[in-house]
């Protein structure tokens, strides 16, 4: 199953690969070179298909838990001052996605969307300390009865050139459901209240829509 954001790219890539392989077979007589080029094109097609896959996830809907919004590795767990929306201290948990990870963004909690904003910006590497403030990004806040207001931020990386955000203010977010997509290498920051019980550790691998990031009663 593939994400809808990849349909156009997948079709174009498939056509290009097929035409290129036919051209290679027609114009190149050296067998080893023909084989090498054909394999390279097929590997490229496989990587595109891999990137835009959208596997089903089984999210257990619970208001007292916040799940990971994306697949990847936890690279930040720290207390920070969040100045775009809250203007107070929060616990930031950041998950980095490599190009081989699933890049679907999912709602970490259920609730009413009270804030959704896109910010154009730079394309620093996703793990850069200033990426959350200077890179292209979107900020979404979901109001949840247990956690209160929870913010998550899609941050473009050095390779990502387009962030897709489906969250609209006043809409109802459903935990684990599709909320967007980031193309080619990126990260998502989750800002939680200080009394949230963090359930992950640095460098831990997490799965979007399933791995529990924090709990709050």
Q: DSSP readout, the chain?
A: -B-GGGHHHHHHHHHHHHHHHHHHHHH---HHHHHHHHHHHHHHHHHHHHHTB---------TTEEE-SSSEEEEEEEEEEETTTT-EEEEEEEEEE-TTS--EEE-SS-EEEEEEEEE--B---TTSTTHHHHBSEEEEEEEETTTEEEEEEEEE-SS---EEE---TTPEE-TTSEEEEE-SSEEEEEEE-TT-EE---TT-EE-TTTSEEEE--
pLDDT of residue 161: 58
- Sign of CA pseudo-dihedral 175, 179, 181, 185: negative
Catalytic residue among 110, 179, 186, 211: 186
* pTM for this entry: 0.83
Tell me the longest C-alpha to C-alpha distance in the chain.
69
Tell me the CA distances in angstroms from 59 to 40, 43, 145, one per residue in order.
Answer: 37, 32, 18
Look at the block and give the residue holding tokens 């997509």.
Answer: 181
Is 217 among the residues known to form the active site? no
125 pLDDT band (50/70/90 cuts)? Answer: low
- What is the mean predicted confidence (pLDDT) over 157-175? 83
Rounded-to-integer distance, Cα 15 and Cα 20, Å: 8
pLDDT of residue 85: 96
* Weakest-pLDDT range from 97-101, 144-148, 206-210: 97-101
The architecture in CATH of the region 65-215 reads Distorted Sandwich (2.70)
- What is the mean predicted confidence (pLDDT) over 109-122? 92
Average pLDDT of every residue of the chain: 89
pLDDT of residue 184: 64
pLDDT of residue 160: 53
What are the boundaries of each domain within the chain?
Answer: 4-51, 65-215
């Amino acid at each position: 199953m593939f994400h809808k954001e990849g349909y156009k790219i997948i079709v174009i890539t498939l056509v290009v690969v097929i035409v290129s392989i036919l051209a290679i077979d027609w114009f190149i007589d050296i067998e080893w070179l023909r084989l090498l080029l054909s394999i390279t094109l097929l590997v490229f097609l496989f990587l595109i298909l891999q990137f835009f896959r959208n596997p089903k996830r089984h999210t257990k809907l619970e208001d007292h838990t916040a799940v990971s919004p994306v697949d990847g590795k936890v690279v930040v767990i720290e207390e920070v001052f969040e100045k775009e929306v809250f203007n107070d201290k929060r616990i930031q948990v950041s998950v980095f996605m490599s190009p081989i990870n699933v890049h679907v963004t999912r709602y970490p909690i259920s609730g009413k969307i009270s804030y959704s904003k896109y910010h154009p910006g730079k394309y620093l590497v996703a793990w850069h300390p200033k990426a959350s403030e200077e890179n292209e990004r979107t900020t979404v806040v979901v109001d949840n009865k247990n956690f209160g207001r929870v913010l998550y931020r899609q941050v473009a990386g050095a390779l990502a050139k387009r962030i897709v955000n489906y969250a609209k203010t006043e809409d109802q977010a459903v935990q684990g459901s599709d909320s967007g997509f980031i193309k080619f290498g990126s990260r998502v920051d989750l800002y939680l209240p200080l009394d949230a019980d963090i359930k992950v550790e640095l460098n831990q691998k997490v799965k979007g829509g399933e791995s529990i990031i924090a709990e709050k009663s």
